Every structure is written in C-alpha cells, then in structure tokens.
Amino acid sequence: MARLPRLVIPSQPHYIIQRGLNGLPVFQDSADYEAFIGWMRGAAKQFKVAVHAYSLLPGELHLLATPADEGGLAGMMQLLGRYYVPYYNQKYARAGTLWHGRYKTSVIDAANYLLLCSRYIELAPVRAGLAGHPEQYAWSSYAHHVGQKPEGAVTDHALYWGLGNTPFQREAAYTELSANGLGSADIKAIESAVLKGWPLGSDKFKTELEHRAKRQVLPAKRGRPFKKPVQA
C-alpha cells in the first residue's frame, strides 16, 4: 500500500513519534536529555510550534504539538536533528543517522483526543517499565502538568486550561485523569493512528480534514472499485 504524504494542518495538534535506528538508544545520560529539551525549546519557538506534552525514552521520543503554519513541524524537527545528531555522534564516537527513518505524525481531533494523547505520552515511561509512576520519570511533561516542576518547553493547550479556573484545580484534575489510566481501546487507537500516519478522530473529523486539506487523509480501500450493474 502506498504511503500517504505526511499530513500537517496548521493550528491543529499533532502527535509526533521518532525512534532510534534499529532500536538503538538516542539518549544515554541526563546531559543528553537536557540538551535535547533545550534545543527543542529553541526550535519550537523559532518555528512557532506549541509543544503541549512530551516524553523522551531511551530509544524514542514522543511529542504532542501544534504548528502555527504548514512548515513549522518539519522546520522544528529538522533543526533538532541538525543540532542533536552531531552532538550525539561526537559524544559517542559514531557516525551517520541516528533515527529509524522519518518521524511519524498523526493529526489529532483535539476535542476528543488531545488530553488522552497527552496522558498516553506521559504514561509511556510507565508502560515501558522505566518508572512505577509518571512522576518518577524526569524526562516528560507530566511534572509540569501536575504542578511539580514548571517546564519552559511546554505551552499548555486551551483544553488543559479548561480543566479548572486555577492552577491548583487544573493540576488536581489532570492528576486524577492520569490516575484513571487509559483503556486498551484508546491505546490501540492512538498507536494505530500515529504509527500509520493517519488522523486520530471521528469520521466527521476525518471528513472535515479532507475538505480542509483538499486531499486524501486515509489510504484507499483495497481491491477494485465497486461497479454498479448496467441497467437493462
């Protein structure tokens, strides 16, 4: 099945995932994580991308972000690679690409999936066995959202602000949402969408995306088109 061109919609949140080459680590110590977050903060500002949530695992990175224009995501990710890959290669005496192919994206139906994706991303270290609770993992935006450590690289989405009228109310509400975990159906829907580069949302949302983008956003169904019978 032919791969659809990457879909980027300005002012719409996107889930971005990028993995290390052949499953190799892309972060090995605290300095690596800190360097990447610093460059991410600068690249996001330069290309007008609002990063709402992130999680950096040893072998992959997960971002939830809204670009202001169609080229913002590509510009941010290219700049990150331009800074981080040479840094990593020089530090660990290696050469060549660090990433396993191009990064993957999924356009998100914010009303139904933004907070769900945010929690999915921040719970990734728990699912990976790197921490027993998201607050125990230093390299995600969870601590920011629950009020433990403000993160300058994060721009809160309006839906997060809608969780309460005060910082305490928002943080408490987000903590409760995270404690409830995610259902297996939600996890499957998120993973299927982002790994295949498909939009994540309702059928109505996908139809509206096709009109907005003036292009196909999902792969065509397999097989030949159905032909109507010839009328006698």
What does pLDDT average to in each consecutive run of 10 residues of the chain (232 residues)?
70 95 94 97 97 97 96 95 96 94 92 95 96 95 94 94 96 95 91 89 85 69 52 48
Q: Quote the pLDDT of residue 1.
A: 42
Looking at domain 14-200, its CATH architecture is 2-Layer Sandwich (3.30)
Helix (H) or strand (E) holding 167, with range, is helix 167-179
pTM equals: 0.89
Element spanning 63, H or E: strand 60-67
pLDDT at 218: 67
Class of residue 226 by CB neighbours under 10 A (exposed 0-12, middle 13-18, buried 19+): exposed
Handedness of CA 87, 93, 97, 100 (dihedral sign): negative
Predicted pLDDT of residue 14: 96
Token readout for 85 is 């890959």
Query: Residue 222's pLDDT is what?
Result: 55
